[in-house]
Structure 1
Amino acid sequence: MKRRQLLQSAGGLLAALGLHEANLLRQAQDYRQALAQPAGRKLALLVGINAYGSQPLQGCLTDVALQRALLIHRFGFHPDDVLTLSDRAATRDGILAAFETHLIQKAKPEDVVLFHFSGHGSRLQDPTPIDGRSFNSALVPIDSSLGGSGQPPATVSDIMGKTLFLLMSALQTEQVTVVLDSCYSGGGKRGTTVVRSAVRGGQRQLPRPSQAELAYQDSWRERLGWSRAELQQRRQAGVAKGVVITAAGPGQVALDADFGEVRAGAFTYLLTQYLWQQGDQEPLEQALATVGRSTQQYAQDVSTRLQTPEFEANLPAGQSVPMYFLPPTAPAAEAVITGRSDPEVTIWFGGVDPRSLVAFGENTVLDVLDSQGNTQGEVLVRSRQGLEGTGRWLGSGRSGPTGIFLQEVIRGIPQNLELRIGLDPSLDGMAAVQEVLAALPRIEPRPVSLGGVDYILAPLTADIAAPASQPGARTGALGLFSPGLDPLPGSFGVPGESPANAVRRLRTKLQQLLAVRLLKVMLNPSSSRLQVTATMHPVAGGLDVAANRLTVRGGRSAGNSPTEVAATTAAGRVQLPVDTEIQFEVTNQEPRHLFISLVVIAPDGELILIYPNNWAAPEDAARIPAATTLQIPQLGRDRFSLVLRPPTGVVETLVIASAVPLREALRVMGQLGTERGLRGGEPLVGDSGMVTLVDSLLSDFNQSATRGYRGLGIEPLPDIQGIDSRDVAALSIVFEVIA
């Protein structure tokens, strides 16, 4: 396999690789044989650079920490065999020397090697180009010139892709993985996101590589015994060996992303978080297809920019290998114990979905697992900052060694979780708008420069297109933007509106967006113990199933991975045209009844409660018997059909299942439906009472979690609302409505 693969749907990718149905059994056998091969030493070199003088980044050191913890605790690397170079240590000479001494000189044919780079990328002139291109992509070390104002450098000390090809070729092992979280186009900052591409503005042509770089390439070419023509021929054929994974495709961006409490590479964070949850029976191409969709979805949610991860492999024909050429050596987990002083422990939360990280603080309860996935006790989280936290081992036994794995039992959502609105510095009357925002319940205004925002209040500018749903919105109109300055449909007023009046106009929308944030914090498809499946499909023709989500730990083997089946395009998610009629199906696979709710989040942030919709008896409608499939909408019961209408954009449907009665939430649902004069079978659309409804849902979940806390001898906290993964499942189905 020597060709670039776009990370699309698992089905589309498998077809592209030739893994048709007739080959699946043989491929599975090849994969099992690959897992059975005796592993040698595991070596890794991780490079992360934040401290670029004029174009600093913020997430690259986090990337290194994410990879290091994953490799040591989930894939069994010895800490001494994972070498990291950060900031000032990551010079050109330092990176090349470390690659030689730590990887080339140490790696034997049976060993596994990983090289990871997080930092700026670039393009350089290539004296010996391939594929008709006059440039070669490159990695920017800390000591390479980015150029001053109006003075772009003519020659730079970047490390060219050709150099990396030669170094990979010198490795004795074929089990090589290279991960590059950088790019070479579209640099600069947009909102709270930064692109990992060096901006050397003002230059009419690309910089040249340094003479030292060209001499270094010649030295390695000669040591490998290759002529210049042979090197060109090998480069033309593809990557040197193993697998090269890039965070973005040619001409795309790799985001240095703001996840609220954590800054990290969007791709690296989502990749490593997924690998903490991955089972031991998943080939590399399937894992990367799923991570690719997650990365694309994140990039499109926070900005208009496209980030499509890619990989290229040089493997024997038909061979399928696991990620990093290794099966995980530990069970799937949200966290791991990294230190202890009985009964206190320190915790790394690398396996938690970034959308839910805020719920893994004080009073979170985690199961303690041994290497076979058996429960050995519980840990109560005391505090967390970013991805590191502290906790207390419950019970009388010792806390055991470090490297013990932790799975979610009860998460704790802060009761007064707020919607964070960034204020663009160009706004007039900043004090007045802060006062109006602060007066709204659970809305936190903050300067955009602080980061950690959910939306940004700012004016439309000439370089930002008006949203398709408001084509008449003009430059200067105030509205809401994503953290990457993607305008939110339906939020823009008229030019000349004061920021304070814009906030008053947006009051209901802000409350709905707060409800959306609360709902997304509940998502737990990887950790819920309930057995629930949700699907979405067009009613007429086309795909049988457009998207499928299921819980992973709900009565299934710990070896399973977070699963999403989707018919996607190169855009990375299901795309359905306007006027398509769709239907959802939710299957209760539990031996007991469950209470089911479905909420749709429209592209403009509007919330639509589509089930239950019997406002006179919502509890009866929500209760779904064991081994039963619910269709929504259902002919003869519901008074609506789900036909996709403008505005175009991303639609997310949240499926919430509970094993405990939702008495307060269902009471509020019935009250809202009655007050709005809704007939049975009609959905509740864009209601200002959605925050009250979501709060009541959390209150019901907290009643169940309280019993779980007290069963472990833990006193619930009044400002924390618990969600017990044994009683609640919250899944998400995402698709895009296109014109």
Structure 2
Amino acid sequence: MALTRRALLRKTSLVLAGLGLSDLSLWKFANQYQQVLAQPTSRKLALLVGINQYRDLGKQAKLKGCLTDLELQRELLVHRFGFHPDDIVILKNKQATYKNIETAFTTHLIEQSRPQDCVIFHFSGYGCLLSPYVDTASEVKTPLPSQVLLPFDSNIQSSDNSQQALENVLLQEQLALWFRSLNTQQSLCVLDAGFTYPGKALLGNLRVRSQPSIQQKTDLPDDREQQEKLLNQSQRRQSPSELILWASQQAQTAVEAQWHDFSSGLFTYALTEHLWQSSPTQKFSASFNRIVSDVERQVGRVQQPSLSGQSGSSVLAGLALGANADGVVTDVEDNGEEVTVWLGGVLPQIVEYYATTTCFKVTSKEGSLSSSPAVAASSAGSESDPNPVPQEPLIQLESSRGCVGTGRCEQEGQINSGQKIREAFRVISRSINLNVALGSQLNRIERVDATSAFSDMPNINPVIAGTQNADFLFTQASSSSQVIVNSVPTDLSEEEEDPPAPPPQTQYGLFSQGGEELADTRGESGEAIKTAVNQLHDTLKLLLARKTLDLTVNDFSSRVGAMVTLESTDDEKPQILAQQSTTRAPWLRKENSSLSSFEKQGQVVQIAKGQHIQYRVYNYSDAPLYWLVLGVDTRTQFFSIYAPEALLDTSTNQDAIAPKDSLTVPFPTNEYVVRGPEGIATTYIILSRTPFEKGLEAISSKIRPSSSNTSPVVARLVNPLEVTQQVLQDLHNSSVPTAEKMGIASDSNWVWDVEQWATFQFTHEVI
């Protein structure tokens, strides 16, 4: 008789429920992975599974980004962490049957792994919850539902007698048993699948990766011989040792995003992008916090990545090996005339706006670059050109699609496939649009009227939800702060009939991509949809201003020596809540080891209303740094923290941070009190080697300076789009001298030199 699921659970005692993220020993468990990957004698094995199309789940069960996830992971493992391509097994779509996954895990991972080897398993596809059948007359406590991964040939359809067939599904307990059977404890499991179904195929503008929960009336039969073999193997370890990275928490779903010209799992892209950027000294806890923050800032609280594992284990640590990078050279033809690069370390929102002549420096085999202009001049001991032409090979981008870019290198014969690349000049189109998705709950007449109203607004581009990249969602508002839950088709072309006409008391509102309502954007009951759109004009300009600032974020690629900490000032001694620094700057910096528990919990920093905070900016370079702080609060209102004396004469009085010095913003004499409502707030700390003349002029045109107050103060901005445009122009002006020497056209695009500026982005949740 085959082992039942109940017997399997009893014998293995494995439950992969996520450990509490406040358990600091879990971070100790997660912060040793670098040691494993860095060992030259250990072998690195990976099994990557991705399923866009399913055999038996119906035509609407169609994902778009799972195969992209596999490509993101493969390029990362090969070019960032040194996996041999032959040691990576990939199962796509119909290859990813339950039997094939089981066979590949057994033969490739279990049978080949040895002690100290590194093993990685990645799954992108659908998941669901399996609820055990319980007789309602029984007094036995209902067991918790199991999390289930769905291979290509999964069958979870309901039969005529209301019982559900359940075939070829991968239970969390079975996966745990496989990991327990490995010969190594150095293992990582990445699951970009959701388990709780939100009631619809689209969540806001995002495609969900979960199916409705299923109920099991009888125990699942399994292969007795295989189970007994695995159980015997698993006895070598009495507890699980793998680190599991979950795309979301159990009560949430996982989503995939539609970028400019491709789709991917939101979690997988954030994970791989940050691992490209992580430095050898950076702990995985810090990287994971940024991943969680990035996901939540884009979709709200509908998806919050988490991790779990055996606390106290000394196995895994931060995924970092060697110098970080923005991508890698994958092909060189005609002696450099045609170069193909992988841009997996760059945010897709930035790649979308890359203009031709964006430049990347090619690193040496050791991953190093020469000193910055300031360092070179200092070491020479004499006056020199402050903006010398870099000597490293440069690749000028000519086009890009997804993460693949093509360009050319004028230094013939100096680059080869496999060399890593780092951003040198970010060239961005000045034509930046805000894409607003029209919800599928809107009928055709509503969509036509809304499209007409949005089209009258400059740089606002209406698109259809679920089919194109979007920044925000416009649709009908429910009585709660979530978008109305309708069962919407996976593809609008499959929609059989138009949604019914809206009721007389319909309200419209603006939502995040994940369907969370933005504060103060809901219209009046019963007002015309064109009126509702027009009421959002100022808010949309604010959001467009925020998007332009997002395009300047570059703490990973900047060569400006700086570090910024977010601190709570309610206690006698400031408490550090978060910290960011420019890891590619050539100057040594002192890392702050006094991070609070906020930085160790794998979540967005949470700050209570009424709490006092400040930002401390360190300049560890050898030249003054000029600063500007802009932010967006939970009401989508822009604010600025500025020095009033700088507004008196923007050409001479602007405050600067001296070399090897620091500045607190605002000063203690001007309190920065966090205010409601609850939600996500973002702050940008922008540093430059040259003054922000135009940016401060734009601020001063709407804010009356006071000569009696010389401390940085917080003030609301009523013209944020004008301010951000002028700040971008300031960064552009500081970069033009070097860009012109490089032959980079600067008339129609923004050109920013990574040697000249750094933008830090801090996200916190107001509670």
| TM-score in same-fold range (> 0.5) | yes
Shift of 1:7: 7.8
- Residue 142 (structure 1) aligns with: 152
Aligned pair partner of 1:455 in 460, 468, 472: 472
CA distance in 1, matches of 2:517, 2:706: 30
* 3-state secondary structure, aligned to 1:422: strand
- Residue 458 (structure 2) aligns with: 441
Aligned pair partner of 1:171 in 182, 191, 195: 182
* 3-state secondary structure, aligned to 2:576: coil
- Residue 495 (structure 1) aligns with: 525
% identical aligned pairs? 27
> Would the aligned equivalents of 2:37 and 2:118 in 1 still touch at CA under 8 Å?
no
- Residue 631 (structure 2) aligns with: 600
Does the C-alpha gap of structure 1 residues 710 and 582 become closer, same or farther in structure 2, counting only changes over 3 Å?
same
Shift of 1:157: 1.6
- Residue 182 (structure 1) aligns with: 193
> Would the aligned equivalents of 2:578 and 2:605 in 1 still touch at CA under 8 Å?
yes
CA distance in 1, matches of 2:15, 2:151: 28
Is 1:723–2:755 an aligned residue pair?
no
> Would the aligned equivalents of 1:121 and 1:138 in 2 still touch at CA under 8 Å?
yes
> Would the aligned equivalents of 1:145 and 1:157 in 2 still touch at CA under 8 Å?
yes
CA distance in 2, matches of 1:433, 1:654: 32
Shift of 1:405: 0.3
- Residue 345 (structure 1) aligns with: 339
Q: How does 1:486-525 map to 2 (within 5 A)?
A: 486-525=516-555
Q: How many residues align?
A: 693
Which letter maps to 1:143? D
- Residue 57 (structure 1) aligns with: 63
> Would the aligned equivalents of 1:525 and 1:551 in 2 still touch at CA under 8 Å?
yes
Q: How does 1:346-365 map to 2 (within 5 A)?
A: 346-365=340-359
Deviations 1:531-589 (A, max 9, x none): 1222232333175222322222122579999x997725868122222222222222222
- Residue 299 (structure 2) aligns with: 302
CA distance in 2, matches of 1:369, 1:320: 31
Deviations 1:488-543 (A, max 9, x none): 00111211122221222221111111000000111011111111222232333175
Is 1:417–2:412 an aligned residue pair?
no
> Would the aligned equivalents of 1:358 and 1:413 in 2 still touch at CA under 8 Å?
no
> Would the aligned equivalents of 2:619 and 2:658 in 1 still touch at CA under 8 Å?
yes
Does the C-alpha gap of structure 1 residues 243 and 352 become closer, same or farther in structure 2, counting only changes over 3 Å?
same
Shift of 1:379: 0.8
- Residue 82 (structure 1) aligns with: 88
Does the C-alpha gap of structure 1 residues 500 and 171 become closer, same or farther in structure 2, counting only changes over 3 Å?
same
> Would the aligned equivalents of 2:289 and 2:599 in 1 still touch at CA under 8 Å?
no
CA distance in 1, matches of 2:174, 2:91: 18
- Residue 120 (structure 2) aligns with: 114
CA distance in 2, matches of 1:623, 1:33: 40
Shift of 1:610: 1.7
Does the C-alpha gap of structure 1 residues 148 and 136 become closer, same or farther in structure 2, counting only changes over 3 Å?
closer
Which letter maps to 2:314? Q
Does the C-alpha gap of structure 1 residues 721 and 567 become closer, same or farther in structure 2, counting only changes over 3 Å?
same
Is 1:616–2:648 an aligned residue pair?
yes
- Residue 245 (structure 1) aligns with: 245
Does the C-alpha gap of structure 1 residues 350 and 297 become closer, same or farther in structure 2, counting only changes over 3 Å?
closer
> Would the aligned equivalents of 2:684 and 2:761 in 1 still touch at CA under 8 Å?
yes
Deviations 1:311-333 (A, max 9, x none): 2148xx56254457xx62x4210
- Residue 681 (structure 2) aligns with: 651
Deviations 1:301-350 (A, max 9, x none): 41442424112148xx56254457xx62x421001111111321111111
Shift of 1:123: 3.2
Aligned pair partner of 1:387 in 403, 413, 416: 403
> Would the aligned equivalents of 1:617 and 1:670 in 2 still touch at CA under 8 Å?
no
Deviations 1:676-733 (A, max 9, x none): 9999878685544221221122222222333222222x23153321111100000012
- Residue 100 (structure 1) aligns with: 106
Is 1:531–2:561 an aligned residue pair?
yes
Aligned pair partner of 2:323 in 305, 320, 331: 331
Does the C-alpha gap of structure 1 residues 127 and 402 become closer, same or farther in structure 2, counting only changes over 3 Å?
farther
Q: How does 1:186-335 map to 2 (within 5 A)?
A: 186-187=197-198, 188=200, 189-199=202-212, 205-206=215-216, 211=221, 214-215=222-223, 218-224=224-230, 226=232, 238-239=239-240, 241-282=241-282, 286-288=283-285, 290-295=287-292, 297-299=294-296, 301-313=298-310, 319-323=314-318, 328=321, 330-335=322-327
Which letter maps to 1:600? G
CA distance in 1, matches of 2:169, 2:107: 20
CA distance in 2, matches of 1:72, 1:682: 47
* 3-state secondary structure, aligned to 2:344: coil
> Would the aligned equivalents of 1:166 and 1:220 in 2 still touch at CA under 8 Å?
no
Which structure 1 segments of 5+ residues have no match? 20-26, 468-473
TM-score by length of 1: 0.84
> Would the aligned equivalents of 1:597 and 1:622 in 2 still touch at CA under 8 Å?
no
CA distance in 1, matches of 2:394, 2:526: 57
Deviations 1:130-184 (A, max 9, x none): x983643221011112427997733222022233233334433333322222232
Which letter maps to 1:98? A
Is 1:547–2:578 an aligned residue pair?
yes
> Would the aligned equivalents of 2:132 and 2:217 in 1 still touch at CA under 8 Å?
no
* 3-state secondary structure, aligned to 2:89: strand
> Would the aligned equivalents of 1:280 and 1:559 in 2 still touch at CA under 8 Å?
no
* 3-state secondary structure, aligned to 2:393: strand
Aligned pair partner of 2:79 in 73, 81, 94: 73
Range moving further from structure 2, 644-653 or 428-437: 428-437
Shift of 1:607: 0.6
* 3-state secondary structure, aligned to 1:578: coil
Is 1:736–2:765 an aligned residue pair?
yes
Shift of 1:297: 4.9
Range moving further from structure 2, 178-187 or 526-535: 178-187
Which letter maps to 2:287? T
Aligned pair partner of 1:700 in 711, 730, 743: 730
Which structure 2 segments of 5+ residues have no match? 1-13, 135-140, 370-391, 485-503
Does the C-alpha gap of structure 1 residues 177 and 294 become closer, same or farther in structure 2, counting only changes over 3 Å?
closer
Aligned pair partner of 1:401 in 385, 402, 416: 416
Shift of 1:43: 1.9
* 3-state secondary structure, aligned to 1:567: helix
- Residue 393 (structure 2) aligns with: 377
Does the C-alpha gap of structure 1 residues 207 and 411 become closer, same or farther in structure 2, counting only changes over 3 Å?
farther
- Residue 379 (structure 2) aligns with: none
Does the C-alpha gap of structure 1 residues 633 and 103 become closer, same or farther in structure 2, counting only changes over 3 Å?
closer
* 3-state secondary structure, aligned to 2:309: strand
Deviations 1:361-404 (A, max 9, x none): 42211110023123441111111111111011132x21532111
* 3-state secondary structure, aligned to 2:727: helix
CA distance in 2, matches of 1:720, 1:371: 32
CA distance in 2, matches of 1:183, 1:250: 8
- Residue 388 (structure 2) aligns with: none
CA distance in 2, matches of 1:505, 1:307: 31
Shift of 1:455: 1.1
Deviations 1:114-138 (A, max 9, x none): 211111122336799xx98364322
Is 1:580–2:591 an aligned residue pair?
no
> Would the aligned equivalents of 2:483 and 2:515 in 1 still touch at CA under 8 Å?
no
